[in-house]
């Protein structure tokens, strides 16, 4: 697909409304040299060019990405822990030691 919104009409409409209302700044993709730029409305090529032109360090990009993802989701939907609530699965047979 050539768009970041995957031709999802609901996502496209929501992001258009967000841009038109000026509300995209708090939840748009964190790109320092393009404040308010909304990756969800971009083509894949535009998003790749933005990513290629960034001068931000990998560590800083990782930190910004975590903050961005957390800002896009309701705090009530977040998991309390980041650990699995089940025991590790064991594999028997020839792949057991892989």
For residue range 16-52, list pLDDT tens digits in order: 888 888 766 566 666 777 777 888 888 999 888 888 8
**Cα distance between residue 47 and residue 3, in whole Å:** 9
Domain that holds residue 46: 1-58
Which tens digits make up the pLDDT trace of 1-15?
A: 688 888 888 988 988
Distance CA 36, CA 79 (A): 28
Q: How many domains does the chain have?
A: 1
98 is a domain residue:
no
Q: Is residue 22 a part of any domain in this protein?
A: yes
pTM given for the model: 0.53
Does residue 64 form part of some domain?
A: no
CA distance 42 to 72: 17
């Amino acid at each position: 697909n050539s768009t970041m919104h995957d031709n999802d009409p609901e996502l496209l409409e929501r992001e258009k409304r967000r841009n038109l209302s000026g509300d995209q700044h708090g939840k748009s993709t964190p790109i320092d040299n393009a404040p308010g730029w909304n990756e969800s409305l971009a083509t894949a090529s535009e998003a790749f060019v933005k990513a290629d032109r960034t001068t931000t360090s990998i560590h800083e990009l990782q930190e910004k990405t975590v903050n961005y993802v957390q800002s896009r989701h309701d705090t009530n939907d977040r998991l309390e822990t980041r650990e699995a609530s089940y025991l590790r699965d064991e594999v028997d047979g020839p792949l057991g030691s892989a």
